[in-house]
Structure 1
């Protein structure tokens, strides 16, 4: 987490075979391909999405 209240996440596992709502959460975070990264605002909603799919992503 950086000083300007953003979180950087990286997709490290494939969402293939996961629940449909978990795949939708991955897309909602702006992650597409494996190892893609996205920089997001640090809000409670984003934190909840990260917690939901924590087994698929890595917070950088």
Structure 2
């Protein structure tokens, strides 16, 4: 379920970012470009979460 929600929110936020950035530059909104960027950002987040260790760090005393 966490993968679904991560993809869902990443997809929406990347579409919002693409729309706002395109409006600031003056270019047209492209749904396909935003979808590809949203999918790529989701994959990047999944890989980043898998690479970061989640066990506690031992102290060096």
TM-score (norm 1): 0.25
Higher-helix-fraction structure: 2
Looking at both structures, which has the greater relative contact order when contacts are Cα pairs under 8 Å and sequence separation is at least 6?
1
Structure 1 or 2, whichever has the larger Rg, is: 2
Higher-strand-fraction structure: 1
